[in-house]
Amino acid sequence: MNNETIAKNNSNPFKKGFLSHFSLDFDLFKIQDSDIQRLDNKLNSFEKIFLDPNIEKTLISKNELLASFAISKAENSQLTLEEAEDIYKFVIENKDFDFISKKISSGKKLEKKDYEKLEFFNIASTFRALNANPFMIQELDDKLIRKIHFDITKGLDIFAKYLPEFTLYKSGNWRDNNEIRVGKYTPSDFKDIPNSISDLISWFKDNQSITNVAIFHTALYAIHPFNNGNKRVCRIIEHILLKIIGLNKNNLYSNSYFYHKEKTRYYKYLLSSLERRNLNIFSSFILESIVFSILGVIKTSLEIKRQQYIAQSELDKAVQKAIKGLIKRRELQFKNFYKIVKNQISKQTFVNYLEKAVSAGILIKRDAGKATYYRLNIETDEEKLLAELLEDIKGKVGVIDEDLRLV
């Protein structure tokens, strides 16, 4: 059954239980499955024809790391990307990450940073394993959801002894109390969790679609089945469900990193959806995040090509460094261009560097009245495709990020 059929028959398909108290109207979604599928298909076609294999390998590896990192940042972790990269090496090499037991054995106290490192290791290990071997839709059940929770939270409850105001995870077990609040929102009664989860899973299995993955994520978090770690479980399951129904087959992008970059909007829409008991609000944000995550792949590939173009030129290293601002911008006015490097070199030196780059044919200079603009002398398939896709989604998303419009 597709979304149009559901919308005609019943605005909210959950007729009983906790989720029946939420509003849901499929007619209100501006972004449709067909819009996202079209973008994903164009990305796949681009990948097969134009995407450099080395760039593709970089994107896949980077995406897995950044997605895991972003999932760990769902709860305001202070772990840095550099620290995450060091830990990720253990995941790739399939090594034990036993620093916790070693630290305890030596009589040292565990700290917040130790917690964040173990949390990231668990998430990265689980995410990588599920990416390599996704579960099948028929395997989606309450046991699988609890296992994912167990895998990403195992060992973390030991930190209750060391960290103040620590909320226990109770790894792999449903929430056993009604004390949890999300802002002013009260989740499902803990006694209703098994039935609510069962209803949600049954509905999704019968109605598999991109939009319904977004609704599944929103509804699962609304139920709030675990004492702690719900956002992390929802993000991982969302990623795998999208792959199962045919999206993002080669793991080039992830919503979770978009959530991390747009954390303010993420929490705003999540809380609004919960407090208003309206599944549309956060589900719409999820659909928008898929769109921008797809566009982000093209943007990243474009930036890599521009970076390579500069690095492969015969310009001096100092000149190459000075013009790197054009990796992320299609064109820059001189005054804005100089702002990027003004703390590193003098204005006259920068002018000299630009003249060298223009003379070498690496930069193109354009005068418009009193203003002077510069851009790289390179045309890419990525730039053309990005412009096409941005035009395709115009009017269906809220705000198009400036980094995409000006790249």
Q: Coil, strand or helix: which one is 332?
A: strand
Least confident of 2-11, 175-184, 260-269: 2-11
| Averaged pLDDT, 240-250 | 91
| Averaged pLDDT, 371-376 | 96
Residue 4 pLDDT > 60: no
pLDDT band for position 163 (50/70/90)? very high
pLDDT tens-place string over residues 63-122: 888 889 889 988 778 999 999 999 998 888 877 777 888 888 888 888 999 999 999 999
| Averaged pLDDT, 375-389 | 91
Mean pLDDT, the chain, rounded, equals 90
Q: 376 or 59: which carries more pLDDT confidence?
A: 376
| Averaged pLDDT, 356-370 | 95
Q: Coil, strand or helix: which one is 376?
A: strand
Residue 19 pLDDT > 90: yes
Handedness of CA 246, 248, 250, 255 (dihedral sign): negative
Residue 188 pLDDT > 80: yes
Task: Check: CB of residue 147 under 8 Å from CB of residue 139.
Answer: no
3-302 belongs to which CATH class?
Answer: mainly alpha
Q: What pLDDT is stored for residue 52 in this prediction?
A: 75
Report DSSP letters for 40-91, one per residue: HHHHHHHHHHTS-HHHHHHHHHHHHHHHHHHHHGGG-----HHHHHHHHHHH
Task: Check: CB of residue 13 under 8 Å from CB of residue 31.
Answer: no
CB neighbours (10 Å) of residue 188? 21
Q: 346 or 74: which carries more pLDDT confidence?
A: 346
Helices (H), 224-278: 230-244, 255-261, 263-275
Give the integer Cα–Cα distance in Å for 359 and 20: 67
Task: Check: CB of residue 70 under 8 Å from CB of residue 259.
Answer: yes
Residue 8 pLDDT > 80: no
Task: Please determine whether the domains at 3-302 and 314-407 fall in the same fold group of CATH.
Answer: no
Q: 101 or 348: which carries more pLDDT confidence?
A: 348
Q: What pLDDT is stored for residue 300 in this prediction?
A: 86
pLDDT tens-place string over residues 48-75: 777 777 777 777 777 888 889 889 988 7
Least confident of 36-40, 84-88, 103-107, 267-271: 103-107
Residue 1 pLDDT > 50: no
Burial of 130 (0-12, 13-18, 19+ CB in 10 A): middle
DSSP H or E run through 391:
helix 381-393
Residue 274 pLDDT > 60: yes
Residue 238 pLDDT > 70: yes
Q: What pLDDT is stored for residue 9 in this prediction?
A: 40
Burial of 156 (0-12, 13-18, 19+ CB in 10 A): buried
pLDDT band for position 139 (50/70/90)? very high
Cα separations in angstroms, 112 against 124, 156, 260: 18, 11, 20
Domains of the chain, by residue range, sit at 3-302, 314-407
Q: What pLDDT is stored for residue 3 in this prediction?
A: 44
Q: What pLDDT is stored for residue 405 in this prediction?
A: 66
Question: Which distant-in-sequence residues (6+ apart) come within 8 Å of 184 by Cβ?
Answer: 275
Least confident of 4-8, 41-45, 282-286: 4-8
Q: What pLDDT is stored for residue 56 in this prediction?
A: 75
DSSP H or E run through 365:
strand 363-368
| Averaged pLDDT, 164-174 | 95
pLDDT tens-place string over residues 208-224: 999 999 999 999 999 99
Q: What pLDDT is stored for residue 233 in this prediction?
A: 97
314-407 carries CATH number 1.10.10.10: yes
pLDDT tens-place string over residues 280-335: 999 999 999 999 999 988 888 899 899 999 999 999 999 999 999 999 999 999 99
Q: 398 or 191: which carries more pLDDT confidence?
A: 191
Q: What pLDDT is stored for residue 61 in this prediction?
A: 75
Residue 164 pLDDT > 80: yes
